[in-house]
């Protein structure tokens, strides 16, 4: 059987800097943050499940640091009947999102979305406006405002340290609430938040699951213009999940588009391949944004699988070379009755003109009636990946995907060895 995620890139492993971060974040894991609710900032007057609050963040040594957040609990959550939980990590240009919390609360999860950039909501009281214009620098957030520029400064002087610490502290908050099942708390992060989450799970192994979206480890592998920013030693030797990904036992399902402008499919594949319990779904044509990243149906189903134990997603169970193509075997959840098996391919490497791929992926689609198929790999294909796609019965507009990582002709051969 071929590996679903195979990469020529491997982790260089831990170093003195990651050992220093292990000690720092170990102290954060043992911290019980204080909290203060902000009823005047509750986002939805009609929905008392969602509350605004502040929690104490990592101190910079001189001033106490306060983090603004939204937290929500399903109505049926109680100490006698605890619910699963999820930490929500926003991306660059974002903030704490009340609607994100409500989405997960509507689906039975306790959820917390914090502001990782030292901002607070400054819009009208007792209402909520997600537009960035309503968010201002928080005078109670004493964190370095360095734009997350990586440097050789002490970690307490780098803004990214506080961002990752917030993920762990938000996790601590959910674990401390008796209405939440502490062994069923996961996390998802979008874009820059996916990068932060990928690092956080390296230092906080208590998460039941993790679902980074768009960006993960091996950022320096990406051929995107943004990926070039991650090729300096202070990133690759300090702030990249690839350093410790091989140690992570947490189930991690990573989601990205096959033509993402910030983090390409080869980097996605390398990250999934480095994880002990990793999976990757490449979504054809998936666009980059908070709204898009927060509403991936496969992500919610992954969280439900990890906390409920019932299969909810399509899964590729077997992949092997077969003549001029591949044999693919898969399973379907109960609400998907049939699926197509696709080969997405490119005739050139992942070359970006500005933010966009110079050549988009083409698709060769095979409709099958059973649970396996033989698909041909086009002769001109230099890069390709396999995807199984099916629509749900209850909502035919919802298409579910399961995919392999990206193969080149070389990695396709090496994956068998």
pLDDT in tens, 227-284: 988 888 878 889 999 999 999 999 999 999 999 999 999 999 999 999 999 999 999 9
Q: Please tell me the distance from the alpha carbon of residue 65 to that of residue 156, in angstroms, as a whole number.
A: 12
Q: pLDDT at position 147, please?
A: 67
pLDDT in tens, 286-300: 999 999 999 999 999
CB distance 192 to 92 below 8 Å: yes
- Per-residue pLDDT band for 131 (boundaries 50, 70, 90) equals confident
Residue 145: per-residue pLDDT: 80
pLDDT of residue 82: 98
Nearest Cα to 39, choosing from 166, 134, 120, 127? 127
User: For the chain, what percent of residues have pLDDT higher than 70?
Assistant: 99
The rounded mean pLDDT for the chain is 95
Confidence of residue 125 (pLDDT cuts 50, 70, 90): confident
The whole-number pLDDT of residue 218 equals: 96
- At 275 the pLDDT is 97
- Count of residues in the chain: 417
Topology alike, domains 16-310 and 316-414: no
Query: Which tokens sit at 132?
Result: 């960035």
Least confident of 267-271, 358-362, 368-372, 406-410: 368-372
What is the pLDDT at residue 404?
A: 98
pLDDT at residue 9 in the model: 94
* pLDDT (mean) for 341-360: 96
Residue 171: pLDDT above 90? yes
Mean pLDDT of 58-87: 95
Average pLDDT over residues 190-209: 98
- Distance separating alpha carbons of residues 213 and 149, to the nearest angstrom: 21
Contact 218, 242 (CB under 8 A): yes
Q: What is the pLDDT of residues 321-342, one digit of tens each?
A: 998 999 999 999 999 999 999 9
The answer to whether the beta carbons of residues 190 and 94 sit under 8 Å apart is: yes
Mean pLDDT across the stretch 102-112? Answer: 98
Residue 289 CB-density burial (10 A; 0-12 exposed, 13-18 middle, 19+ buried): middle
pLDDT at residue 329, rounded to an integer: 97
Determine the straight-line distance between the first and last CA of the chain, rounded to whole angstroms.
Answer: 10
Q: Domain 316-414, CATH 3.90.930 — does that match?
A: no
- Give the whole-angstrom CA distance, residue 156 versus residue 314: 43
Q: Cβ-count burial of 292 within 10 angstroms (0-12 exposed, 13-18 middle, 19+ buried)?
A: middle
pTM of the model: 0.97
Cβ–Cβ under 8 Å, residues 383 and 264: no
Please tell me the CATH superfamily of domain 16-310, with its number: Alpha/Beta hydrolase fold, catalytic domain (3.40.50.1820)
Question: What whole-number distance in Å separates Cα of residue 174 and Cα of residue 186?
Answer: 10
Which segments of 275-312 does DSSP mark as H helices, in order?
290-293, 297-308
Q: What are the residues facing 119 on neighbouring strands?
A: 137
Q: Residue 178 carries which DSSP code?
A: T
| 227 contact partners, CB below 8 Å, separation of at least 6 | 219, 220, 221, 262, 263, 264, 267
In this prediction, residue 136 carries a pLDDT of 94
- For CA atoms 150, 154, 160, 164, give the dihedral sign: positive
8 DSSP assignment = S
161 membership: H or E segment, kind and range = helix 159-176
State residue 296's pLDDT score: 98
Cα 337 to Cα 351: distance, rounded to the nearest angstrom:
37
Using one digit for the tens of pLDDT, what is the confidence trace for 379-403? 999 999 999 999 999 888 999 999 9
Output the pLDDT for position 228.
87
> Would you say residue 217 has pLDDT above 80?
yes
Give the pLDDT of residue 148: 62
Q: Any bridge partners for residue 346, and if so which?
A: 383
Distance separating alpha carbons of residues 294 and 190, to the nearest angstrom: 7
pLDDT at 357: 96
| Domain ranges, ordered by start, for the chain | 16-310, 316-414
């Amino acid at each position: 059987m071929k590996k679903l995620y195979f990469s020529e890139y491997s982790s260089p492993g831990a170093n003195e800097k990651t050992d220093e971060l292990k000690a720092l974040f170990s102290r954060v894991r043992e911290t019980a943050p204080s909290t203060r609710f902000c009823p005047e900032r509750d986002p939805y007057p009609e929905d008392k499940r969602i509350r605004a609050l502040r929690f104490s963040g990592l101190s910079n040594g001189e001033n106490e640091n306060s983090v603004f957040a939204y937290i929500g609990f399903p109505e049926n959550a109680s100490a006698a009947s605890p619910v699963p939980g999820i930490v929500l990590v926003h991306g660059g240009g974002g903030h704490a999102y009340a609607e994100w919390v409500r989405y997960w609360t509507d689906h039975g999860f306790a959820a917390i979305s914090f502001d990782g950039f030292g901002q607070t909501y400054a819009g009208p009281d007792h209402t909520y406006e997600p537009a960035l214009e309503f968010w201002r620098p928080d005078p109670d957030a004493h964190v370095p405002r360095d734009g997350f520029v990586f440097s050789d400064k002490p970690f307490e002087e780098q803004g990214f340290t506080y961002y990752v610490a917030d993920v762990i502290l938000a996790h601590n908050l959910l674990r401390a609430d008796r209405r939440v099942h502490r062994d069923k708390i996961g996390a998802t992060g979008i874009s820059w938040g996916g990068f932060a989450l990928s690092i956080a799970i390296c230092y906080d192994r208590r998460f039941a699951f993790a679902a980074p979206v768009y960006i993960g480890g091996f950022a320096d592998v990406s051929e995107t213009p943004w990926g070039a920013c991650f090729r300096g030693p202070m990133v690759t030797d300090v702030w990249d999940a690839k350093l410790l990904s091989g140690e992570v036992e947490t189930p991690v399902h990573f989601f990205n588009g096959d033509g993402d402008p910030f983090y390409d499919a080869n980097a996605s594949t390398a990250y999934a391949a480095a994880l002990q319990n990793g999976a990757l779904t490449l979504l054809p044509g998936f666009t980059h944004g908070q709204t898009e990243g927060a509403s991936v149906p496969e992500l919610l189903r992954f969280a439900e699988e990890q906390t409920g134990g019932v299969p909810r997603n399509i899964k590729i169970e077997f992949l092997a070379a077969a003549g001029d193509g591949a044999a693919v075997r898969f399973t379907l959840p109960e609400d998907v009755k049939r699926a197509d098996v696709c080969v997405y391919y490119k005739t050139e490497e992942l070359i970006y003109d500005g933010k966009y791929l110079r050549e988009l992926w083409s698709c060769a689609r095979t409709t099958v009636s059973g649970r396996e198929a033989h698909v041909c790999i086009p002769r001109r294909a230099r890069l390709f990946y396999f995807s199984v796609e099916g629509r749900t019965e209850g909502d035919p507009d919802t298409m579910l995907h399961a995919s392999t990582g990206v193969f080149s002709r070389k990695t396709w051969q090496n994956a068998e060895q």
